Amino acid sequence: MSARQDLIDLVQRSDNGDVTPPNTSWAALTVDETIARKAAVLMLFGVLDDVPAVSSKPLAAADLDVLLLERAHTLGSHPGQVAFPGGGIDDGETPVAAALREAEEETGLDSAGVEVLGSLQELGLARSNFLVTPVLGWWASPSPVHVVDYGESAQVFRVPVRDLLDPVNRVTATVGRDGRTFSSPAFTVCGVLVWGFTGIILDGLFEQLGWAVPWDRSRVHQVAF
């Protein structure tokens, strides 16, 4: 079965209520839904571009990559963190429209080349008190991407899924805030750490797709602020 079909099947299972959300014990997913703002992110997968995977392991979806960006280190919210393109949903806007608009504004992609496969259930983003709708997309006709505004993003890049799945690149990220320690699944790829909300979503997605590979959760990476 193709990776694209795996993603379509996941959306259908989600529509039927047959998808278990990512581990809700992670503090990052806890929000007050009565006052949370609505947002959407684009989880855009496509056939691996001309930048090869570092990992040579025979893992699932070996010919696949996903679009990510590194937020500007000067931002007041989630500075320097790796994220999916996305942002707040405007009045009268659907999550799909918001995800595509934000992706265009942040990465310069041509959304005409994106096949929207569907949306997954909302997830909380505690730090910003957002309720986020993940929108799954397939890059049917990839277009060049780049940083549109360096005040918002430090870099835009496509990550081979094989590198994300490789246990060598998996750690548990921990961060201390307000006298408490928060943890999340994380990925060390492309010279960055993918952790927090994005790490949780990717970890849960790979589990639901049946692509996940066992990894050593006792390997801890302390996030410095």
* Superfamily name and number for 3-160: Nucleoside Triphosphate Pyrophosphohydrolase (3.90.79.10)
pLDDT of residue 48: 80
Query: Is pLDDT of 80 > 50?
Result: yes
Length in residues, the chain = 225
Q: What is the pTM of this model?
A: 0.90
Region of poorest pLDDT, from 66-70, 119-123, 127-131, 144-148:
127-131
Mean pLDDT score across all residues of the chain: 88
Query: Is pLDDT of 106 > 50?
Result: yes
Measured between alpha carbons, how far is 97 from 135 in angstroms, rounded to an integer?
Answer: 10
pLDDT of residue 172: 96
Strand-pair partners of 137? 44, 116
Q: Closest Cα to residue 99, out of 64, 133, 123, 71?
A: 133
More confident call, 176 vs 6: 6
Q: Are 208 and 10 within 8 A, CB to CB?
A: yes
Query: Is pLDDT of 111 > 70?
Result: yes
Q: Closest Cα to residue 139, out of 209, 190, 52, 67?
A: 67
pLDDT of residue 168: 96
pLDDT of residue 200: 92
Question: In this predicted model, what pLDDT tens digit does every residue of 168-211 receive, in sequence order?
Answer: 999 999 987 777 788 899 999 999 999 998 999 999 999 999 99
